[in-house]
Structure 1
Amino acid sequence: MTEAPARRTPGTPCWVSLIVHGLGTTQNFYAGLFGWEFVPGPDQLGPYVRATVDGRVVAGLGQMAPDRLLPVAWTTYLATDDADVTAELIRSCGGTVAVGPLDAGEAGRMAIASDPGGAVFGIWQAAAHLGTALAGTHGTPVWNELLTRETSTVCKFYQTVFGYEAEAVVSADFDYQTLHLHGRPVASLHGIGHALPRDRGPHWMTYFEVDDTDGAARRVVDLGGYVLQPPRDGSSGRVATVADPEGAAFTIVRTAGR
C-alpha cells in the first residue's frame, strides 16, 4: 500500500469515474467487490460520491440524468495544470471536447473529451481534490490502457497534447506502446484492430488491483456482474476483464510481485 502522489504531473492518469443509471445498486456492487466506502462529492452535474479505501479517495461514482441514454463506462482522467488550455489543444489536434471545461465546485476544473479515434477520457485540473490518494492495495486503480484500432496515429495525438514519450513494442503482430513522463511509465496504448468490441469502439480501460484475481472474478458474478475474459496470466500479473451489472467493463489484476 502506498500513498498516491499528491501533485500530479500533467498527463498522469489521476482519477477514474463512472456515471451510471442506478447509483445505489452500483455502490453496493463495488462495496461488495472492493470493500469501498463512500463520501459525498461535488454534485453540480448530479448526485456523485467518492469511493474510499482506508479513508482515502480512490474513484468516483455518479448518477446519470434519467433522460440520458449514454454508454456506461469507466472514464480515465488525465492531469492538467490548465484545463482550458488543454481543451483547446485537444481540439486543435483533432480531438473533441464534449463537456466543459467547467468547475466542479472547489474540487477542481474538468472536461470530458475524446481522441481522434473516438475514445473518451477526462482532463482534471486539481484544486481541493487532487485525485486518487492511494495505490497498491485491493480496490485501487493500478493502470490505464487505451484499447484502439492502431496506435501510431492516436499516439501522436496524446504525445502532442500531454508531452508523453512513447516506447513501442517491436513486433510484427503486436501493436503496443507504453507512454512515459520523465522516464516513468504512466499508461499504455494497445492496438487490437478488428478485435475491438463493436458496441464500444476505442476506449480506455481501468485496471484495479485485487488480492486474488480468480476469487474476485467469482465475486463479480455473485454480485450480478459478468466475466468478459476469464482469469489468465499476463505480463503484469494475473488478470481478468469483467463488467459490473450495468455493463461497465474494467480489468482486475493481482500484479506480479504482490
Structure 2
Amino acid sequence: MPTRDNPWPQGTPCWVDCSVDDPGAARDFYARLLGWDVLDSPPEAGGYLMAMIDGRPAAGIGPKMGDMPMPSVWTTYFAADDADAVAAAVQAAGGTVFVPPFDVMDVGRMFVAADPAGGVFGVWEAKSHTGAGIFNETGAYCWNDLHTTAYAPSQEFYRQVFGWGFDEIGGGGMVYSTFNDPDGRPMGGFADTTGQPGSDMPYWLTWFQVSGTDDALARATELGAKVLMGPDDSPFGRMGVVAGPQGEVFGLIDTNVTIGG
C-alpha cells in the first residue's frame, strides 16, 4: 500500500483535516464511513483527533478555531521546507495569510492562507508529524483539486508560490488541469467552475478513495450526509461529492472503476 514516513516535498498535498462544530460526531461519521480508527490527542492539542488507517496517520478532525462564525470545511495542506518563507511568497503573490506561521507543539509549523480569489489552504512544515503516512488507499485521501472561477490567475498564483507546472487535460467543455512536481508528476488538479451553480467561492476539494462508490454514497446518506453530485463515471474513476452531516464537502472516488476500464 502507498505509505510514507519522511516529510513530503515542498508544494505536495501532505495532509487534510476537517474543522467542525462537533468533532465527536464527525469522529463517529468518518469512522463508520471510511473505516478510520480515530485517536485522541494530548490535552494540549485542543481536542484535535487523529484518524489512522493500519496504524498510520491519514487525516485530522478538529474543532473550529476562533470566535468568528465559519462553515465546517475540509482543508488541504501543502508541504513546506520553511513555512515562513512560503508565507512571504503567498503575500508577495497577492494571497492572504490569516495568521502568521506558528509552532504546533513539537509536531510542526503551519499557517492557513487564501489565494487572491479566496481559495483557502494550509501550509505545513513537518517536524515530528511528517503529514499523511498513508495515501491512495481505501479510506485515505487520494486527490486534491481547486474549484475556482479564477482559473488562470490561480494557476499563476500557485506557480509563483510553489513553482508548480500545469498540464491542461480538460475536454468536452470541461476546463481542467493537473498541477505537477518539478519532474512533471501530477499532484492534484484545478477545475474551472465558471458558470456552475454555487461557484461564487473557490475551494479545495479533498477526495477519499473508496471501494465501490455507489455503496459509499449510500452509506454516507444513511449516516446523515447529503449527496451533492454523482455517482458519475470518468476516466479517473467513479465519483461522487458529499456534504457531511455538519456541512463539510468532500469527494469519494473509486479509481479502479473508470470509463473504458
Shared fold (TM-score greater than 0.5)? Answer: yes
Paired position in structure 2 for 1:183: 184
For residues 165-196 of structure 1, what are the alpha-carbon distances to aligned partners after superposition, in whole Å with 9 as ceiling and x for unaligned? 11123658332121110221001111111215
Paired position in structure 2 for 1:205: 205
Deviates more, 1:125-134 or 1:169-178: 169-178
Number of aligned residue pairs = 257
In 1, distance between residues paired with 2:197 and 2:100?
28
Is the contact made by 2:117 and 2:150 (CA closer than 8 Å) also made in structure 1?
no
Which one-letter code corresponds to 1:189 in the other structure?
A: F
The alignment's TM-score, normalised by the length of structure 2, stands at 0.93
Is the contact made by 1:21 and 1:66 (CA closer than 8 Å) also made in structure 2?
no
CA spacing shift, 1:187–1:170, aligned 2, 3 Å? closer
For residues 77-111 of structure 1, what are the alpha-carbon distances to aligned partners after superposition, in whole Å with 9 as ceiling and x for unaligned? 00000000100110110000012311111110000
Q: Note the 1:64-79 alignment, pairs <5 A.
A: 64-65=64-65, 67-79=67-79
Deviation at residue 6 of structure 1 after TM alignment: 2.3
Question: Is 1:220 aligned to 2:220, yes or no?
Answer: yes
Is the contact made by 1:46 and 1:65 (CA closer than 8 Å) also made in structure 2?
no
In 1, distance between residues paired with 2:140 and 2:172?
34
Which one-letter code corresponds to 2:14 in the other structure?
A: C
Is the contact made by 1:150 and 1:190 (CA closer than 8 Å) also made in structure 2?
no
Is the contact made by 1:42 and 1:105 (CA closer than 8 Å) also made in structure 2?
no
Is the contact made by 1:148 and 1:196 (CA closer than 8 Å) also made in structure 2?
no
In 2, distance between residues paired with 1:224 and 1:41?
26
For residues 140-163 of structure 1, what are the alpha-carbon distances to aligned partners after superposition, in whole Å with 9 as ceiling and x for unaligned? 000000000042111010011001
SS of the residue 2:69 aligns to: coil
In 2, distance between residues paired with 1:139 and 1:224?
18
Question: Is 1:88 aligned to 2:88, yes or no?
Answer: yes
SS of the residue 2:76 aligns to: strand
Deviation at residue 22 of structure 1 after TM alignment: 0.5
Which one-letter code corresponds to 2:142 in the other structure?
A: V
Question: Is 1:29 aligned to 2:24, yes or no?
Answer: no
Deviates more, 1:44-53 or 1:73-82: 44-53
The alignment's TM-score, normalised by the length of structure 1, stands at 0.94
CA spacing shift, 1:29–1:211, aligned 2, 3 Å? same
Is the contact made by 2:168 and 2:176 (CA closer than 8 Å) also made in structure 1?
yes
Q: Note the 1:95-174 alignment, pairs <5 A.
A: 95-169=95-169, 173-174=173-174
Runs of 5+ consecutive residues of structure 1 not aligned to the other structure = none
Is the contact made by 1:74 and 1:249 (CA closer than 8 Å) also made in structure 2?
yes
In 2, distance between residues paired with 1:170 and 1:252?
20
Is the contact made by 1:42 and 1:104 (CA closer than 8 Å) also made in structure 2?
no
The alignment yields a C-alpha RMSD, in angstroms, of 1.9
Is the contact made by 1:145 and 1:189 (CA closer than 8 Å) also made in structure 2?
yes
CA spacing shift, 1:21–1:251, aligned 2, 3 Å? same
In 2, distance between residues paired with 1:98 and 1:66?
12
Structure 1: 4+ residue segments shifted above 4 A:
42-45
Deviates more, 1:186-195 or 1:34-43: 34-43
Deviation at residue 244 of structure 1 after TM alignment: 0.8
CA spacing shift, 1:44–1:177, aligned 2, 3 Å? farther
Runs of 5+ consecutive residues of structure 2 not aligned to the other structure = none
CA spacing shift, 1:65–1:171, aligned 2, 3 Å? closer
SS of the residue 2:71 aligns to: coil
For residues 184-219 of structure 1, what are the alpha-carbon distances to aligned partners after superposition, in whole Å with 9 as ceiling and x for unaligned? 100111111121515x61000000000110000000
SS of the residue 2:195 aligns to: helix
Higher strand share: 1
In 2, distance between residues paired with 1:4 and 1:224?
33
Deviation at residue 5 of structure 1 after TM alignment: 6.0
In 1, distance between residues paired with 2:34 and 2:228?
18
For residues 58-88 of structure 1, what are the alpha-carbon distances to aligned partners after superposition, in whole Å with 9 as ceiling and x for unaligned? 0000012584421111000000000001001
